[in-house]
């Protein structure tokens, strides 16, 4: 080796050591919070180190360590992106197409360039490099996050997003379930794209995750308005109007929005200034309407259809926006052939696919003894809310009422397995066996339920009935005496 070559090698090693020291010091200062030190660093040293690295890259193109550090300098410290930086990295990538670190550096460099000059081709370049990493390592969390940042950056500039981009954002949310800020941005994107049902779903997820974020009710209400569900929007604004109006830096006129909604729905209100008092009055009326409706459901369950109809009518008079009271009234009239099916379909349209429709419909048919339709409605509701144990239990009882005993038994056994301490599902399973005339089996589950809920006179009465069926009159009398002693 010539003296010149020895000198060049030694020089390049010295240059590398200098550049690496400068980079490490700058990065440590930048990310450790020591911003004063970072600001005081000799800028000339940073650019000198960058120049020395460029010299190494140009003279020793196979030195990957220097090449990668050169790219990182321009990502972390200099933020100047040009062909001198990009070309050596892209040329090296041709011979090393699966070098993840080079792909990562190129993706970030083009992302910085896109953020600076906002050219679509820079976005595509950055996106393609990140995407290549995912082809090699499909679940690389850091890259998915970088893609998320890139996509959100472009959408904030251009309001442009593709189906593929949305899928990446959804994947990011799936991995980072606690990132509620990105969840909110995703909802905003769907809203801006006019996909209001999807936006509504995600806004609701955000509200559930971000307890106390009452401001989100405005955006949920806006989705309802876009979906022509003004009644639900009104209910949300009424619930939150005081909190929304008290926001310190409020830029939205919530009173005006609610006033316009009231006028569209035919409410007698003269001016926006009346909103707060009008809402107070409405809330009192809604509270009374809820009581009337609950009384109506109780009467309907007891078989007093006329009494129930009166209560539902009074509830609807108090709160004309109540869909459940309107549904129950229409259902009763349909049963009595006072209205036709078209009116029921019209009510369904007002619910707009909300699972509350199937919930209300199922209970209504159940109370009316129309178990076949109740089963259909319970099933639809559970497709949307598979973890609702109360409605699973109700479905099981309806199935037993139409002699679909095997399906009912399966449901209650699954519920008992899910919650081994439950008394009610053991009791309900006993009811199923009693309807099957399997009284010994029914007794087993009744007694089991009573051991978990000893104060239940309801269970004791069922045990008395079963002992009568089995001819165990002395035992029936003994259990009956328990109730008499409790309630003489």
The answer to whether the CB of 72 falls within 8 A of the CB of 89 is: no
Helices 371-384 + 389-401 axis angle, to 10: 150
Give every CB contact of residue 72 below 8 A, 6+ residues apart in sequence.
Answer: 23, 105
User: How many Cα neighbours within 13 Å face the side chain of 57?
Assistant: 25
Fold of 406-488: 1.25.40
**Token digits of residue 375:** 């089963």
Residues 6+ apart with CB under 8 A from 39: none
**What is d(CA 340, CA 435) in angstroms, rounded to the nearest whole number?**
34
Chain center to CA of 312: 33
Can you tell me which residue has the tokens 């809330």?
283
Residue with tokens 């940042």: 149
Q: How far is CA 72 from the centre of its chain?
A: 38
The pLDDT value given to residue 2: 43
Identify the CATH number of the domain defined by range 177-269: 1.25.40.10
Question: Of 335, 272, 346, which is closest to residue 306 (Cα–Cα)?
Answer: 335
177-269 matches 272-386 in fold:
yes
Show Cβ contacts of residue 231 under 8 Å, excluding neighbours closer than 6 positions: 265, 321, 323, 350
User: Buried b vs exposed e over 407-439: b needs ≥16 C-beta within 10 Å?
Assistant: ebbebbeebbeeeeebbbbbbbbbbbbbeeeeb
Residue 178: half-sphere exposure toward Cβ, Cα within 13 Å: 0
pLDDT score of 4: 42
- What is the CATH T-level fold of the domain 272-386, as seen in this structure? 1.25.40
In the DSSP assignment, the letter for residue 274 is: G
Domain positions in the chain are 177-269, 272-386, 406-488
Q: What is the DSSP letter of 319?
A: -
Are 140 and 124 in contact by the 8 Å Cβ rule? The answer is no
pLDDT averaged over 10-residue windows placed end to end, the chain, 488 residues: 51 80 76 61 72 81 82 80 85 89 91 88 92 90 93 89 91 92 94 93 91 86 91 89 76 88 89 88 93 94 91 94 89 76 74 78 89 93 90 96 96 93 92 95 93 88 92 90 72
Query: Could you give the C-alpha distances from 316 to 94, 277, 337, 341, 367, in angstroms and in order?
Result: 72, 21, 21, 20, 19
Residue 81: count of CB within 10 angstroms of its CB: 21
Res 138: pLDDT? 87
- What tokens were used for 5? 């070559």
Residue 486's pLDDT is 67
Q: Which two tokens mark 50?
A: 């960058």
CA–CA separation, 266 and 321 (whole Å): 11
pLDDT at 36: 63
Please name which of 468, 470, 466 lies closest in space to residue 448, comparing C-alpha atoms.
466
Residue 12 in contact with residue 69, Cβ under 8 Å? no
Selection from 201, 397, 211 nearest residue 301 by Cα: 397
d(CA 207, CA 475): 54
pTM score: 0.67
The whole-number pLDDT of residue 3 equals 41
Describe the chain by its helix, strand, coil percentages, rounded to 5: 80, 0, 20
Q: Residues for the chain: how many in total?
A: 488
As given in the structure block, the two tokens for residue 306 are 């006329």
462 in Cβ contact with 479 (< 8 Å):
no
């Amino acid at each position: 080796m010539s003296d010149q070559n020895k000198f060049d090698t030694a020089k390049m090693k010295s240059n590398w050591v200098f550049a690496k020291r400068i980079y490490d010091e700058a990065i440590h200062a930048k990310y450790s919070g020591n911003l004063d030190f970072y600001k005081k660093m000799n800028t000339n040293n940073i650019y000198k180190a960058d120049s020395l690295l460029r010299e190494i890259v140009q003279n020793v193109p196979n030195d990957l360590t220097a090449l990668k550090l050169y790219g990182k300098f321009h990502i972390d410290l200099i933020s100047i992106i040009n062909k001198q930086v990009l070309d050596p990295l892209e040329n090296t990538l041709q011979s090393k197409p699966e070098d993840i670190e080079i792909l990562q550096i190129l993706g970030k460099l083009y992302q910085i360039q896109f953020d600076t000059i906002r050219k679509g081709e820079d976005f595509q370049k950055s996106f393609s490099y990140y995407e290549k990493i995912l082809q090699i390592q499909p679940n690389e969390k850091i890259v998915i996050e970088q893609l998320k940042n890139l996509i959100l950056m472009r959408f904030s500039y251009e309001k442009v997003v593709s189906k593929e981009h949305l899928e990446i954002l959804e994947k990011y949310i799936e991995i980072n379930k606690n990132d509620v800020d990105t969840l909110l941005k995703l909802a905003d994107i769907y809203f801006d794209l006019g996909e209001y049902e999807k936006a509504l779903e995600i806004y609701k997820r955000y509200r559930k995750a971000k307890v106390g974020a009452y401001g989100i009710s405005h955006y949920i209400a806006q989705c309802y308005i876009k979906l022509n569900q003004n009644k639900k929007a009104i209910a949300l604004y009424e619930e939150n109007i005081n909190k929304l109006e008290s926001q310190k830096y409020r830029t939205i006129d919530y009173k005006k929005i609610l006033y316009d909604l009231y006028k569209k729905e035919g409410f007698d209100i003269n001016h926006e200034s009346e909103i707060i008092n009008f809402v107070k009055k409405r809330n009192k009326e809604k509270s009374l309407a809820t009581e009337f409706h609950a009384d109506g459901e109780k009467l309907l369950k007891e078989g007093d259809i006329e009494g129930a109809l009166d209560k539902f009518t009074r509830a609807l008079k108090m709160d004309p926006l109540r869909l459940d009271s309107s549904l129950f009234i229409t259902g009763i009239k349909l049963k009595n052939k006072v209205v036709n099916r078209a009116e029921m379909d019209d009510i369904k349209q007002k619910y707009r696919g909300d699972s509350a429709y199937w919930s209300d419909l199922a209970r209504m048919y159940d109370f009316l003894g129309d178990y076949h339709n109740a089963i259909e409605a319970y099933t639809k509701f559970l497709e949307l809310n598979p973890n609702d144990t109360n409605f699973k239990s109700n479905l099981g009882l309806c199935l037993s009422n139409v002699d679909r005993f095997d399906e009912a038994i399966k449901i209650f056994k699954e519920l008992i397995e899910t919650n081994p301490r439950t008394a009610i599902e053991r009791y309900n399973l006993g009811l199923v066996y009693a309807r099957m005339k399997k009284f010994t089996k029914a007794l087993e589950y009744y007694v089991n339920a009573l051991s978990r809920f000893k104060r239940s006179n309801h269970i004791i009465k069922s045990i008395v009935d079963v002992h009568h069926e089995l001819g165990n009159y002395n035992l029936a009398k003994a259990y009956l005496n328990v109730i008499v002693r409790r309630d003489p």
